Amino acid sequence: MLPTDMHLLPILGRPALSSDGRYAVVSVARPDFDADENMTELWLAETDGSTPARRLTQGVSDSSPAFSPDGRWLAFLRPGRGGRVQIHLLPMGGADAFAVTDLPLGAGQPVWSPDSRRIVFAARVAEPGRYLPGVPPRKERPRRITTLRYMSDGIGFTFDRPQQIFVTDPFTKGATATQITDGVYDCSDVAWSPDGRLLTFVSGRHQSHADDLRRDIWVCAPDGTGLRALTAGGLELSCPRFSPDSRTVCFAAETLDEDNRASGANSYGLWSVPADGSTPSRRLTDPELYHLSFASLMIAPAADGVYFANDYRGEVHLVLVPYDGGEPIPVVTGHRQVNGYAVAEGSGGTTVAAVIATAESAGDLVILRGGREQMLTTFGSELRARAGLLPVEEFTAKADDGYLLHGWVVRPAGPGPHPVLLQIKGGPFTQWGYTLNGPASFEEAQVYASAGYAVVLGNPRGTSGYGRSHGLYAAADLARRTAPDLLALLDTALEALDLDAGRVGVQGGSFGGYMSAWMAAHHGERFRAAMGERGCYAIDSHFGSADDGVNNSIALYGPDPVRWAELSPLTYADQINIPVLLIQSEEDRHTPMEQAQRLYIALRTRGVPAEMLLFPGEGHDMSRTGLPSHRMARYEAILEWWARHL
């Protein structure tokens, strides 16, 4: 697998199902090297598999499909005037798509009313005089900031353009979208009740809403009247959805501390609350065993329970959780990941459309019906046929205290001995797993192994998928408890005679970048060189410069600034004597550029062979969503670095 094979890795979004379960639509994104853009189209499939899936739209950026309940229309997002994303409608009986919104800052995911007559969505609303057409960012007037949370990676400033809820009638000529919420509070994740009487959404509307992580579930009438909260704090939450009888709102959430802050490894479970607010919310899943996968980050209430995607030992299982909180029923299991799904229930039974990825696929559309699975797309087959993917070998390592750790190695072809890369994932509360799509996938391991490196990956304690105790183990001393587990995984892999223990490099992104720098400082004798990408290297400045540095720094490294120095790789820069490559995006607001700059300068002034590769105009997720030319340049730089040092 070569970097140029990225176009053979189309990324499928969340699918949409028609209410009768006959049709599925999914967005398909892939890099276009000629245009140097990431293109997204919508594909349509008949769920009985009678005809091959086909391209439905040919826009350059069509996404977020939603069938009207009567099946006559498909709503989706497409750039409109000025490049702002707007809601468009496509008649399923034929004819061209047309725009039904024209908002200054664009529109969000469309959600149909049960009677197929209205659409609700969230959209950002600028404060007066802000973000005017034709006014470049450098000519905006000064911003007066009075809160801790005021910007976000990939968006920019958020405090002066909060998200509000809108309702529109897309079939009345000349009708405009009606804003039904207001104020300085962000509103998101809106959904209709099946009886059409209520809307539910997420919003933090308490006094310190822009300083902490607390969010609550709210309901109101479709015209915005009768606004009331169903939860009363203590939770960070998302994706509220009504049960089919409209009597219950289910949602995903993690608990917060008394200051409304999260720990770095708190399980994200399934909760429910009565829609009339008669009793408090309650958790339906065991926090030790179930954690909502960030690969899907969605739930889907159905007649017999709520569909929930759960991290499990590198896999993402789809389970059905009973409304009474009973034992979840497995729906999709095995060495694969469910990265999005949709559910339709009718007279013919239940139909589930799921995007399922494996170690050899970024995901294909699969239909589950009557206990059977049928694949509707074959996007992964071309890569398998052309790239010659290498086996992903599973292994178990034993930590110093006897704890068993789960890992994988991807070997190059041939007898060896092979140089070795220890690849550390981000998060940290995520998992390496069976997919070629996402921040913790096997995609990069395939590229590096194809270039001649044996790649070692593993899920040390502190990651998700192995229970809450596994995740919380490292929380008290993140770097010092993670490093021994990583070394145990590496040492076990190096027992193989075809891996060269004398030629080992360490690399990773985000939290993996942080740990790569930590390993270079504290275990540098084990490695020839290191590569850190978009890492946090100095907690003190990250606390003040990142998009949510206050909450994230405290969640991961604790509230004591004195300890931040102990846990910062920058503190130990004088102990780093191996070559270090730092890769950074200039517009990264999650781990800002100053993090890489500080470590780079500290190393260069000591004469350490350090290099810094900066990508203009890109954010934290450049390696996955950046311009194709930038992603190619990144791969080329990393491969050149390891060719030079290993």
Residue 292 clears pLDDT 90, i.e. is over it: yes
pLDDT tens digits for range 72-123: 999 999 999 889 999 999 999 988 999 999 999 999 999 999 999 999 999 9
- Could you count the other beta carbons within 10 Å of the beta carbon of residue 640? 11
CB-based burial, 557-584: b 16+ in 10 Å, e otherwise: bbeeeeebeebbbbbbbeebebbbbbbb
Q: DSSP characters for 301-316?
A: EETTEEEEEEEETTEE
At 570, the pLDDT band (50, 70, 90 cuts) reads very high
Q: In the prediction, which pLDDT does 548 show?
A: 85
Residue whose pair of structure tokens reads 């509360």 in the numeric block: 429
Mean pLDDT (the chain, rounded) = 95
Reading the block at residue 296, the tokens are 């899907």
pLDDT tens digits for range 412-468: 999 989 999 999 999 999 999 999 988 889 999 999 999 999 999 999 999 999 999
Residue 388 clears pLDDT 90, i.e. is over it: no
Q: Beta 349-358 vs 337-346: how paired, if at all? A: antiparallel
Residue 264 clears pLDDT 90, i.e. is over it: no
Q: pTM score, two decimals?
A: 0.96
At 59, the pLDDT band (50, 70, 90 cuts) reads confident
pLDDT tens digits for range 467-499: 999 999 998 899 999 999 999 999 999 999 999
Q: DSSP characters for 431-462?
A: ---S-SSSTTSSHHHHHHHHTT-EEEEEE-BT
Q: Which of these, 337, 342, 339, 333, lies nearest to 367 by C-alpha position?
A: 342
Residue 295 clears pLDDT 90, i.e. is over it: no
pLDDT tens digits for range 513-552: 999 999 999 999 999 999 999 999 999 999 999 998 888 8
pLDDT tens digits for range 589-630: 999 999 999 999 999 999 999 999 999 999 999 999 999 999
Residue 448: phi, psi to the nearest 5?
-70, -40
At 173, the pLDDT band (50, 70, 90 cuts) reads confident
User: Do 451 and 505 meet the contact criterion of CB atoms below 8 Å apart?
Assistant: no
Give the angle subtended at the CA of 86 by the CAs of 81 and 89, to the nearest 5°: 115
Q: In the prediction, which pLDDT does 470 show?
A: 96
Residue 645 clears pLDDT 90, i.e. is over it: yes
- Could you count the other beta carbons within 10 Å of the beta carbon of residue 327? 9
CA dist., res. 513 & res. 533, Å (int): 5
Q: Give the residue extent of every domain in the chain.
A: 390-645
Cα atoms in the Cβ-side hemisphere of radius 13 Å centred on 110: 36
Q: In the prediction, which pLDDT does 175 show?
A: 83
CATH T-level topology, domain 390-645? Rossmann fold (3.40.50)
CA dist., res. 142 & res. 144, Å (int): 7
Answer with the residue of higher pLDDT: 560 or 615: 615
Cα separation values, 372 from 25, 226, 375, Å: 20, 44, 10
pLDDT tens digits for range 350-379: 999 999 999 999 999 999 999 899 999 999
Which bin fits 247, alpha (ψ -120 to 50), beta or left (φ > 0)? alpha
Residue 31: phi, psi to the nearest 5?
-75, 140
Q: Which of these, 424, 318, 446, lies nearest to 380 by C-alpha position?
A: 446
Q: Beta 499-509 vs 418-424: how paired, if at all? A: parallel
Non-local CB neighbours of 208 within 8 Å, separated by 6+ positions: 214, 260
User: Do 420 and 386 meet the contact criterion of CB atoms below 8 Å apart?
Assistant: no
